[in-house]
């Protein structure tokens, strides 16, 4: 039987094993509920994910993104799904485990700034803003985030997908990658020159020396494709 995975480096096999399989655990229609974040807590088998952007009929067809909590326990009916109130983290996208909760990227809205927000992982899912501007200048639409293992610094990407999708105002910053120090509260741009900086991840090890950033300029915010746009890492 052919594997569900394509391997480009032999080291990948040590992670997935000799006979990896894929299994559909949960689906929701027509709600595009599984899109980004993927923050997992192994102590209680819960997974937090964010939906893709969709229009909510109950909110005058307004563009929305929903935060979802998936309980993966082996109950009689399999995994269960719970919608988490998302008003305090508008247009949530990427996320990472942080301080016994989730650090979410909020792409923002016309009335709420884009930035980084911490959410408790248990009800009532208290939300705390962590960073909401670059020294007073609004972020474009913060997309993905990762935490450096040793010093706890927070690295994140900030493309202009919110503006392209029609729910954010005209950008006031370039498309950049930032580093935020939660101790000193200092934030600085660490990389620029991207079309659309998107996913971000550190290399392996306790003190990784490389950060990987995907550039997804080829895929426009409206879902179209720009053949000349960047599609790289």
Let me know if residue 161 belongs to a domain: yes
Let me know if residue 231 belongs to a domain: no
Q: How far apart are CA 107 and CA 8, in angstroms?
A: 33
58 has pLDDT over 70: yes
What is the per-residue pLDDT for 74? 62
Domain span at residue 181 reads: 31-215
Nearest to 225 by CA among 197, 196, 201: 196
Residues 123-157 pLDDT 10s: 999 999 999 999 999 999 999 999 999 999 999 99
Nearest to 102 by CA among 50, 53, 140, 26: 50
The DSSP line for 6-23 is --SSGGGHHHH-SS----
What is the per-residue pLDDT for 26? 84
Which of the 8 DSSP states describes residue 180? Answer: E
Let me know if residue 81 belongs to a domain: yes
Let me know if residue 13 belongs to a domain: no
Let me know if residue 41 belongs to a domain: yes
Q: Which CATH number is 181's domain given?
A: 2.120.10.30
Let me know if residue 99 belongs to a domain: yes
What is the per-residue pLDDT for 47? 96
Let me know if residue 6 belongs to a domain: no
Residues 65-114 pLDDT 10s: 999 999 987 667 678 889 998 889 999 999 999 999 999 999 999 889 99
Side-chain half-sphere of 75: how many Cα atoms within 13 Å? 13
Mean pLDDT for the stretch of residues 34-42: 94
Let me know if residue 221 belongs to a domain: no
User: Residue 11: what are its φ and ψ, rounded to 5°?
Assistant: -65, -25
Q: What total number of domains does the chain contain?
A: 1
What is the per-residue pLDDT for 187? 98
């Amino acid at each position: 039987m052919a594997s569900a995975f394509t391997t480009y480096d032999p080291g990948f096999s040590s992670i997935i094993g000799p006979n990896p399989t894929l299994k559909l655990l949960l689906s929701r229609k027509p709600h595009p509920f599984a899109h980004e974040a993927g923050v997992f807590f192994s102590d209680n088998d819960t997974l937090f994910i964010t939906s893709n952007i969709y229009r909510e009929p109950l909110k005058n067809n307004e563009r929305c993104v929903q935060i979802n909590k998936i309980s993966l326990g082996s109950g009689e009916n399999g995994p269960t799904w719970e919608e988490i109130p998302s008003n305090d983290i508008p247009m949530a996208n990427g996320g990472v485990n942080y301080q016994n909760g989730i650090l979410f990227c909020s792409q923002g809205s016309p009335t709420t700034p884009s930035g980084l927000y911490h959410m408790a992982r248990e009800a009532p899912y208290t939300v705390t803003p962590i960073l909401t501007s670059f020294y007073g200048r609004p972020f474009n639409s913060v997309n993905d985030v990762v935490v450096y293992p040793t010093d706890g610094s927070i690295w994140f990407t900030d493309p202009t997908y919110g503006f392209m999708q029609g729910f954010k105002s005209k950008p006031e910053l370039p498309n950049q990658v930032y580093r935020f120090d939660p101790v000193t509260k200092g934030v600085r741009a660490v990389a620029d020159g991207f079309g659309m900086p998107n996913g971000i991840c550190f290399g392996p090890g306790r003190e990784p020396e490389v950060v990987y950033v995907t550039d997804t300029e080829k895929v426009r915010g409206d879902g179209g494709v720009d053949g000349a746009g960047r599609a790289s890492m």
